Amino acid sequence: MEIPTMMLAMVLDAPRHPLRAMRVPVPHPNPEQVLIQVHACAVCRTDLHIVDGELTEPKLPLIPGHQIVGTVIQMGERVNQFKLGDRVGVPWLGYTDGTCRYCLRGQENLCDHPLFTGYTLDGGYAEYAAAYQQYCFHLPESFRDVEVAPLLCAGLIGYRTYRLAGEHVERLGIYGFGAAAHIIAQVAVHQGKHIYAFTSPGDTQAQEFARRLGAVWAGSSTEMPPDKLDAALIFAPIGPLIVAALRATVKGGVVVSGGIHMSDIPSFPYGLLWEERVIRSVANLTRQDGEEFFKIAPQVPVKTEVQVFSLEQANDALSRLRQGQIQGAAVLELP
Ligand SMILES: [Zn+2]
Ligand SMILES: [Zn+2]
């Protein structure tokens, strides 16, 4: 196929400015990269944190977007895990050095010299994107492009968050019922867990959505659930939810925060943490998370609820996400 020289992209010039639709050069893949024709790119809350300046070290100008689905149309000379025409997915973690102490002990998600798709590498709010083969995934065929795109972050990070809650969980609380929650709730229900969904006070629509996905209880984050939780996953960027979740867990309960950014956690009495309760965070993902999750997702099978926008509507998708008006996940679809 003829590779064009220029492409349409939505570009962030500076934080707290809307993205600008621009013609920019199509990236050249380096020897370890594939060039992807983008079919879909899901919109993540992290994209909002970048655009809004809460994540402070983006490359600029930047093409955001780290849940990319597309077809390989060109390959760097050392690419050997993919071939032309393969459908691939690209997640948030876009590169690791493979040599630092974290990489060497199997914690590549904590690499000292990582690059992140749509943050320190250009991402998928564009017609084409270059990505390191090391962090591209083959995608299960049963999913359409727009359905599988949200699995690349909401799904993968959601899965890691869920996994870190531990194995002995029967009653699982999920705080913040957006993209990640709606995916991971389906996996958890499939694995026999009882889901307790917590939304912003008064968001009866999200509570209804949670019940429809199999939650045994759905209510406001200011409420106590009818039963104490074995673990809680926090997907809303609101620090006080950590304390609320601790209050709702049993002895030895685990509270896992899946987000990359959160408002401050208020101080709380030690009694809430006592009895071996655990608070932990999730950073990035490992390739193993991806491989596991893309095996499980078609077995469930996970059904993603998506609201589709065109590439040029990226600002609209971001502002609706900011205002809590997206049910499930927002996805940019390219023709
Ligand atoms: Zn490393
Ligand atoms: Zn994300």
The CA 286 to ligand 1 mean position distance, Å, reads 12
Tell how far the Cα of 66 is from the centroid of ligand 2, in angstroms: 6
Looking at the CA of 99, name the nearest ligand: 1
DSSP 112: S
CA of 117 to the centre of ligand 2 (A): 9
pLDDT value of position 167: 87
Which residues have beta carbons under 5 A from ligand 2 (an ion)? 44, 46, 153
pLDDT value, residue 2: 86
C-alpha distances out from residue 332 to 145, 163, 242, Å: 10, 28, 32
pLDDT at position 55 is: 94
Measured distance CA(262)–CA(319) in Å, rounded: 19
* Strand bridging mode 278-281 / 249-257: parallel
Distance 107 CA to ligand 1 centre (A): 8
Would you state the pLDDT for residue 301?
Answer: 96
Give dist(CA 78, CA 62) in Å, integer: 26
State residue 327's pLDDT score: 84
The pLDDT of residue 162 is 97
Low-confidence ranges of the chain (pLDDT < 70): none
In order of 45, 50, 87, the CA distances from 61 in angstroms are: 19, 12, 27
Strand partners, 130: 35
Q: How far is the CA of 269 from the centre of ligand 2 (A)?
A: 32
DSSP of 130-177, one letter per residue? EEEGGG-EE--TTS-HHHHGGGGTHHHHHHHHHHHT-S--SEEEEES-
Lookup: tokens for 292: 């596991």
How would you list the strands of the sheet with 249-257, edge to edge?
A: 217-220, 194-199, 171-175, 229-234, 249-257, 278-281
Q: What number of CA atoms fall less than 13 Å from residue 290's CA on the CB side? A: 26
Q: Which ligand is nearest to the CA of 105?
A: 1
Question: What is the pLDDT at residue 328?
Answer: 84
Distance 154 CA to ligand 2 centre (A): 6
Ligand at minimal distance from the CA of 286 is: 1
- 311 alpha carbon to ligand 1 midpoint, in Å? 33
- Cβ atoms of 219 and 225 within 8 Å: the answer is yes
What CA–CA distance (Å, rounded) separates 130 from 32?
10
Q: What is the pLDDT of residue 222?
A: 95
- pLDDT at site 324: 87
CA of 106 to the centre of ligand 1 (A): 9
Which helix (H) or strand (E) segment holds residue 334: the answer is: none
Output the CA 288–ligand 2 centroid distance in Å: 17
Q: How far apart are CA 93 and CA 114, in angstroms?
A: 7
The whole-number pLDDT of residue 282 equals 96
Report the first-to-last Cα separation within the chain, whole angstroms.
Answer: 17
State both tokens at 312.
């040029």
Specify whether the CB–CB gap between 228 and 248 falls below 8 A.
yes
CB proximity list for 181: less than 8 A, separation 6 or greater:
158, 174, 197, 210, 233, 235
Q: How far is CA 201 from CA 73, 177, 198, 207, 222, in A?
A: 47, 12, 9, 10, 7
Ligand nearest, relative to CA of residue 330: 2
Spatial neighbors of 129 by CB under 8 A, at least 6 apart, are 27, 35, 36, 38, 63, 65, 68, 70, 90, 122, 123
Span from the CA of 179 to the centroid of ligand 1 (angstroms): 29
